[in-house]
Amino acid sequence: MSKKKKDKFKKQIKAQILEQMARSETPVPASTPTVSPMPIMQTDVIAAKPVQSVVSDSTIQNLPQIKYDLKKTAIVIAVLALIIVALVLLDQKYNILLSFGDILFRVLHIQ
């Protein structure tokens, strides 16, 4: 698929999702609550319709992929933290980072 077709496809999908969300939403009348000295008794019970969203359906389907990505991200962050800790400990013992910086300055001709 070319880039133009992908962009059009994404726009179509987005438009469909917005249409579905607009259809599922019911407008709520904006009214200010009034305080009445006499309590109003309601005998009719209005059943609430369950609101279905497109996002929750797609999230449920992608849950294993999301868990996999989170595990992978956590592993990468842990490895980077270990590398930083190891570099700090090596720098304290052997002063390796300062000498490495000096080498970089000489090689790259940075002043």
How does pLDDT run across 51-82, given as a tens digit for each residue?
555 556 666 788 889 999 999 999 999 999 99
If asked whether residues 54 and 85 sit together in one domain, one would say no
Q: How confident is the model at residue 9 (pLDDT cuts 50, 70, 90)?
A: confident
51: alpha, beta or left, given left = phi > 0 and alpha = psi -120 to 50? beta
Does 32 fall in a domain?
Answer: no
Does 42 fall in a domain?
Answer: no
If asked whether residues 19 and 55 sit together in one domain, one would say yes
Does 89 fall in a domain?
Answer: yes
Name the domain count of the chain.
Answer: 2
Does 98 fall in a domain?
Answer: yes
If asked whether residues 56 and 68 sit together in one domain, one would say no
If asked whether residues 55 and 90 sit together in one domain, one would say no
Q: Is the pLDDT of residue 86 over 90?
A: yes
pLDDT in tens, 25-59: 655 555 555 555 665 555 555 666 665 555 566 66
CA 31 remoteness from chain centre: 34
Query: Residue 75 sits in which domain range?
Result: 62-111
Q: Which of 14-18, 58-62, 75-79, 90-94 has the lowest mean pLDDT?
A: 58-62
If asked whether residues 4 and 54 sit together in one domain, one would say yes
If asked whether residues 71 and 111 sit together in one domain, one would say yes
Counting Cα atoms < 13 Å in the Cβ hemisphere of 33 gives: 3
